[in-house]
C-alpha cells in the first residue's frame, strides 16, 4: 500500500508621483493603481461547504444563478486550477488556516476517520499550530469567524476549549463547532444516525438472543444456566440498546447541532429555520462595528452541505431542486455581505476571497435526486483523494485598484497559499520554525509573474498519497500521477454510491506503474498516458516519486488528531446549556 511518509514601505512617494505624472503626459493607463504595500488591507474570506466548481456561473454553469459570485470574478482574479489540500472538510480547513499539509499538523488518520466525528471528541487543530488569524491578530487586526469550524473544541473538559477558534487567533466566533449535516434535520442521507442505529439494533438483537437462550436453558434445564439475575440483566441490556437505537437521532441533534457565541453555547439544538438570517446579520454587524480598524472576517458558510437548509424565499427558485436553491441563497448572502462593504466604504481597502473547502459530493443523493454539487468536467468528487473533481475548487480574489479586474489565472494554486498571502499583506511574517507549504499569491494575482510558485503539489487521502502533480515550467505542462484510486460502485459509476465517501485504502486500486495524465491538455483525466504514448513517462513518474520521498523526509512524528482515540464521543467533553434534566437553550432570540 502506498502509504505517505512519516513524515517598504519606504519613502517612495516622489517616485510614485513622478511615475503617475509620466503616465498622464504619455497617456498611459495603469492596470493596477495602488501599491499593495501602502496600508494594511482588510480581509473578507468567504468559504463554501461542499460546493462544486461547476455550480457557479463564472466557472461555466448556465442554469444556477450566481450573479454576486460572478461579480467578484468580473471585478477580480479568477483561478482555474485552485486546489484544496484534501477532498474532505476537516483536513482541508486545517490546511487553509495553517498553510500546511494536513499530514504535517496531525489533522488526518490512517484508519478511515476522515473528519472530526463529534463535537465532544478530543481531536482538533493542535495548539502549537499557527493560523493566519493568530498572526493577523498580533498585527493589530480584529479577527472573526462566522459559521462552520469543524476543527475541534475541547481536550480534557467541556470548558477547556483548547481547539476552539478563540484559541487559534479568532477574537469573535458565532457558529457551529462541528458543522451542518443531514442528521441535524433528521434527513437523508445521514452521516451518523443510520450507522449508529444499525450498530445499536445489532447489539440489541445479540443481547436478546443471549437472554432468550439463557432463559430457555434455565426453564428446560437443558443447560446449566446461571441465576435469573443474569437473564434479567441481558433483558435490560436488550431494552437499553433498543431504546438507544430509536432515540439516537435526537441525541445527535443535541450533541452536535448547536451554536456557540465565543465560549458560550447559545442555541441547542440549532434552529434550522433561523440560522441563515442569524449568520448574515452577524457578518454585517461585524463589518459595521470594525470599519475603523483593520479586520479579517472568515465567513464559513453552512451552505451547501446537506441537509440543504434553505429559507422559504428561495424554495423552488432553481432549476436544480433543493441543491440549486441552496446555492442561489448562498450567492444572495454573498451579495448582501458585499453590499455592506460598499455601504460602509470598505470595498477599496478589502481583499475578498471566495472558495469551497473541496469538491461537490456525488454520493449525496436520495433515490435519483442529486443533493450534492456538480464538479464540471472534472472526474470524481468529495472524498476522492486525487481526482480533480474532489480537489479542484473555485478560487476568486478581488481587491479594487490592486488586482486587475477580469484576470484569469490558469496555473496550479493551493488554498494553502492564502496563509502566506494574507500574512505578508497584513504586515506579518511566516513562521521560521516549521515548513509552510503555501506560497505568496500576490505576484501571480497582479500579473507580475505568469507561473505558479508551486513546482510540486501532493494529494493525500488520510495519510495515503493518492496523487501528485509537477508543474514543468519550461514546457508549460502540468503532469499528474495517480498512485491509488478508489474503486467505484457500481463499476464505472464515477462515485461510490451506497457509501458517504469513497475510501482511502482497502477498496482501492494501486497503480504500478502509476496512472499519468497531462492535466494541461487533459484536465478531465480521461486519457491516461503510458510509456509508448509519452516519451517522458519514466522521467515524469521518477520526478514525482523523488518529490514524495523528499516530502517524506520533511515530516515529523505527530499525533493523528482524527485517530480513533481522539475521535470518539466523550461525555465529559460534551458542550451544553441549560440545567439537568432540561438541557437546551436559545439565547440568540
Active site residues: 89, 150
Query: How far apart (Å, rounded) are the C-alpha atoms in residues 168 and 153?
Result: 11
- Pick the closest to residue 170 from 261, 274, 240 (CA basis): 261
Query: How far apart (Å, rounded) are the C-alpha atoms in residues 478 and 469?
Result: 7
- Whole-Å CA distances, 418 to 132, 144, 242, 294, 546: 9, 16, 49, 17, 27
Pairing of strands 77-83, 407-414: parallel
- Pick the closest to residue 505 from 48, 112, 78, 65 (CA basis): 112
User: Helix, strand or coil for residue 415?
Assistant: helix
567, three cell numbers:
475521535
Report yes or no: 339 and 345 within 8 Å, Cβ to Cβ.
no
Q: Tell me the Cα Rg of the chain.
A: 26
Report yes or no: 286 and 172 within 8 Å, Cβ to Cβ.
yes
What are φ and ψ of residue 140, in 5° steps? 95, 10
Burial 7-16 (b: 16+ CB within 10 A, else e): beeeeeeeee
Residues in the chain: 589
Query: How far apart (Å, rounded) are the C-alpha atoms in residues 133 and 298?
Result: 9
Query: How far apart (Å, rounded) are the C-alpha atoms in residues 11 and 322?
Result: 56
Query: How far apart (Å, rounded) are the C-alpha atoms in residues 579 and 573?
Result: 16
Q: What angle do CA 472, 98, 557 make, to 5 degrees?
A: 90
Report yes or no: 537 and 516 within 8 Å, Cβ to Cβ.
yes
Query: How far apart (Å, rounded) are the C-alpha atoms in residues 386 and 484?
Result: 8
End-to-end CA distance of the chain: 53
- Pick the closest to residue 122 from 562, 462, 557, 558 (CA basis): 562
DSSP H or E segment with residue 193: helix 193-220
User: Helix, strand or coil for residue 579?
Assistant: strand
Phi-psi region of 283 (alpha: psi -120 to 50; beta: other; left: phi over 0): alpha
Strand partners, 145: 173, 298
Amino acid at each position: 500500500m502506498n502509504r505517505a511518509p512519516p513524515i517598504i514601505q519606504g519613502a517612495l512617494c516622489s517616485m510614485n508621483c513622478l511615475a503617475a505624472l509620466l503616465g498622464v503626459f504619455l497617456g498611459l493607463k495603469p492596470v493596477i493603481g495602488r501599491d499593495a504595500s501602502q496600508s494594511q488591507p482588510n480581509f473578507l474570506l468567504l468559504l463554501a461547504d461542499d460546493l462544486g466548481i461547476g455550480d457557479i456561473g463564472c466557472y461555466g454553469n448556465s442554469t444556477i444563478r450566481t450573479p454576486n459570485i460572478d461579480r467578484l470574478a468580473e471585478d477580480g482574479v479568477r483561478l482555474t486550477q485552485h486546489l484544496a489540500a484534501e477532498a474532505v472538510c476537516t483536513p482541508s480547513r486545517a490546511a487553509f488556516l495553517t498553510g500546511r499539509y494536513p499530514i504535517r499538523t496531525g489533522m488526518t488518520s490512517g484508519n478511515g476517520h476522515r473528519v472530526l466525528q463529534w463535537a465532544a471528541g478530543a481531536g482538533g487543530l493542535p495548539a502549537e499550530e499557527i493560523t493566519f488569524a493568530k498572526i493577523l491578530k498580533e498585527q493589530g487586526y480584529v479577527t472573526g469567524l462566522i459559521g462552520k469550524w469543524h476543527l475541534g473544541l475541547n481536550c480534557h473538559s467541556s470548558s477547556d476549549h483548547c481547539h476552539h477558534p478563540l484559541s487559534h487567533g479568532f477574537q469573535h466566533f458565532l457558529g457551529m463547532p462541528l458543522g451542518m449535516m443531514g442528521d441535524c434535520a433528521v434527513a437523508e442521507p445521514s452521516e451518523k444516525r443510520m450507522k449508529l442505529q444499525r450498530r445499536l439494533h445489532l447489539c440489541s438483537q445479540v443481547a436478546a438472543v443471549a437472554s432468550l437462550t439463557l432463559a430457555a436453558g434455565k426453564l428446560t434445564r437443558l443447560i446449566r444456566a446461571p441465576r435469573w439475575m443474569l437473564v434479567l440483566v441481558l433483558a435490560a441490556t436488550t431494552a437499553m440498546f433498543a431504546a438507544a437505537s430509536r432515540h439516537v437521532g435526537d441525541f445527535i441533534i443535541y450533541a452536535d447541532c448547536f451554536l456557540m457565541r465565543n465560549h458560550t453555547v447559545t442555541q441547542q439544538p440549532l434552529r434550522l429555520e433561523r440560522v441563515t438570517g442569524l449568520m448574515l446579520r452577524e457578518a454585517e454587524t461585524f463589518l459595521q462595528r470594525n470599519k475603523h480598524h483593520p479586520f479579517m472576517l472568515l465567513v464559513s458558510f453552512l451552505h451547501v452541505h446537506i441537509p440543504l437548509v434553505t429559507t422559504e424565499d428561495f424554495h423552488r427558485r432553481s432549476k436544480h431542486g433543493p441543491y440549486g436553491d441552496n446555492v442561489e441563497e448562498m450567492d444572495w448572502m454573498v451579495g448582501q455581505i458585499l453590499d455592506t462593504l460598499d455601504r460602509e466604504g470598505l470595498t477599496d481597502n478589502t481583499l475578498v476571497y471566495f472558495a469551497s473547502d473541496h469538491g461537490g459530493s456525488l454520493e449525496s443523493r436520495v433515490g435519483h435526486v442529486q443533493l450534492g454539487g456538480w464538479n464540471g468536467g472534472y472526474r470524481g468528487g468529495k472524498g476522492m483523494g486525487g481526482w480533480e473533481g474532489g480537489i479542484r475548487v473555485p478560487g476568486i480574489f478581488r481587491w479594487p485598484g490592486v488586482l486587475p479586474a477580469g484576470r484569469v489565472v490558469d496555473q496550479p494554486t493551493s488554498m494553502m497559499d492564502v496563509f502566506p498571502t494574507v500574512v505578508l499583506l497584513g504586515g506579518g511574517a511566516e513562521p521560521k520554525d516549521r515548513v509552510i507549504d503555501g506560497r505568496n499569491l500576490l505576484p501571480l494575482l497582479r500579473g507580475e509573474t505568469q507561473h505558479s510558485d508551486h513546482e510540486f503539489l501532493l494529494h493525500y487521502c488520510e495519510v495515503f498519497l493518492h496523487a501528485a502533480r509537477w508543474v514543468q515550467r519550461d514546457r508549460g505542462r502540468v503532469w499528474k500521477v495517480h498512485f491509488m484510486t478508489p474503486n467505484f460502485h457500481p463499476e464505472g459509476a464515477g462515485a461510490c454510491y451506497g457509501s458517504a465517501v469513497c475510501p482511502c485504502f482497502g477498496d482501492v486500486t494501486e497503480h504500478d506503474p502509476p496512472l499519468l495524465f497531462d492535466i494541461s491538455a487533459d484536465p478531465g483525466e480521461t486519457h491516461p498516458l503510458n510509456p509508448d504514448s509519452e516519451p517522458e513517462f519514466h522521467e515524469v513518474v521518477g520526478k514525482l516519486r523523488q518529490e514524495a520521498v523528499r516530502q517524506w523526509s520533511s515530516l515529523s512524528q505527530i499525533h493523528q488528531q482524527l485517530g480513533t482515540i481522539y475521535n470518539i464521543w466523550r461525555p465529559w467533553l460534551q458542550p451544553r446549556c441549560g440545567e439537568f434534566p432540561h438541557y437546551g437553550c436559545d439565547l440568540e432570540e
